[in-house]
Structure formats: C-alpha cells, structure tokens
Amino acid sequence: MRVNLTVNGRPQTADDVWEGESLLYVLRERLGLPGSKNACEQGECGSCTVRLDGVPVCACLVAAGQAHEREVLTVEGLADHARQRAADRPATHDTPAPPPDTPEPAPGTDLAAARSWQASPADPANSELAPIQQAFLDAGAVQCGFCTPGLLVAADELLERTSEPSDEDIREALAGNLCRCTGYEAIMDAVRLAAARASQGG
C-alpha cells in the first residue's frame, strides 16, 4: 500500500508498504530516517520515540497505515522544531513545502556516510542543535547513543509542556526510555541543564 505522511515538515510518500510494517520501519528503511532506533519493537524501550501529531509515541507500535496523512516529528527534525518553537510559531503549520525537485532520500545510511561517522567534531557553540541536544552533549548523557534519539524527543516534549520540571517529573516523563550505559544520572543532569538554561533565557 501507499502511505503519505509529513515527516519533520516535509511531505513524504512510501510505496509498496507491507500492511504489517510499523511506522518505525517506514521511517528507517523507506524514508532514509534511521535516527529513530529499533531496540525492542515492543514498546518497552522508547528508543523509537517520535511525535505523532505532536504526541510522543513508540513508532514501532504505530502501524504504517495509521501514520497516513499524519505529521511525524523525529530526532532528525528536532533542531528545526526547537528553532520554530523558539520563534514562537506553531511548529507544524508554517513549514515551507520543499521544492518539487527534492531528490528521493536513500533509505538508510549508505556506506560512504557510515565510513565517515567521526567527521563532525563536537562544537560547544553549535547553533544547529536543539537546546536539549546540546545539553545531552554537555552533560555527558550520550554514551553508545542508541537510546539518545528517543530520549531527546521525549525530553524535548517534557520541556515544551513543563518549563521547570522536578526531578520526579523528569523521571516520570522519561520512564519509557531505557538507557543501558549511563545509569541515567547524566540524562537527569542534561534535562535539568536544558530546563535551567531555558529559564535563564540562555
């Protein structure tokens, strides 16, 4: 079947989708957006967390057909989303349509890109990142990084609705996102840091 959806503000079409496929598979294998991770495929780890019409969900539990004509935000669109939010505009409306000749993205990561994964040195003043992404880097909240995309989407959504979350609030909001490397302390620090920077107008 064909699935039309908007991902990170861009209209996308996936063809020949098997009816049992998940939104996660479509994003990763058909639309060239492998940022959302496939760690459990049963809604028990949160690594595939995306926002579906603004709501955080596990993309592995959304049937591809259910995302038809819906809006999806993934980690790849998080920085744009944060910029738009900062500009105090509705995140999902003013997005300009991409030029009609935009090339089809390759599904997945090609090997040339895979070989050069260290290319980008960390830049503390990297304005291309959403505040929550920068905070994860600064706080040491990233180790293997497999949980990171889902955590970022969930944490960003928390801070969007709760500007000064308590520690218990942070823990509750991130209770659906497993991390096996950090012991969560640095993740707590990262969310506290992003919240504090936002409240200080930084």
Return the residues of window 91-120 that contact other proteins according to CB under 8 A.
Answer: 106-111, 113-118, 120
Number of residues that bind other proteins (CB under 8 A): 108
Nearest CB to other proteins, comparing residues 15 and 100: 15
Q: Under the criterion CB under 8 A, does residue 148 sit at the interface with other proteins?
A: yes
Using the contact rule CB under 8 A, the part of the chain among 82-90, 92-100, 121-129 near other proteins is 121-129
Given 58, 72, 73, 82, the residue binding other proteins (CB under 8 A)? 58
Q: Under the criterion CB under 8 A, does residue 14 sit at the interface with other proteins?
A: no
Closest approach, Cβ 94 to other proteins, in A, equals: 22
The C-alpha atoms of residue 150 and residue 152 are separated, in whole angstroms, by 5
Indicate left, alpha or beta for 72 from its phi (over 0: left) and psi (-120 to 50: alpha). beta
Q: Under the criterion CB under 8 A, does residue 83 sit at the interface with other proteins?
A: no
Q: Under the criterion CB under 8 A, does residue 144 sit at the interface with other proteins?
A: yes
Q: Which burial class, exposed, middle or buried, applies to 180 when counting CB atoms under 10 A from its CB (0-12, 13-18, 19+)?
A: exposed
Calculate the alpha carbon distances from 10 to 13, 18, 71, 101 in Å.
Answer: 10, 22, 9, 13
Nearest CB to other proteins, comparing residues 64 and 91: 64
Q: Under the criterion CB under 8 A, does residue 75 sit at the interface with other proteins?
A: yes
Which pair of tokens denotes residue 76? 């790849």
Q: Under the criterion CB under 8 A, does residue 46 sit at the interface with other proteins?
A: yes
Q: Give, to the nearest 10 degrees, the angle between helix 131-139 and helix 148-161.
A: 120
Site string for other proteins, 158-197 (x = CB under 8 A): ------xxxxxxxxxxxxxxxxxxxxxxxxxx--xx-xxx
Indicate left, alpha or beta for 47 from its phi (over 0: left) and psi (-120 to 50: alpha). alpha
Q: Under the criterion CB under 8 A, does residue 122 sit at the interface with other proteins?
A: yes
CA angle (147 as vertex; 58, 202 as ends), nearest 5: 100
Using the contact rule CB under 8 A, the part of the chain among 67-75, 81-89, 91-99 near other proteins is 67-75
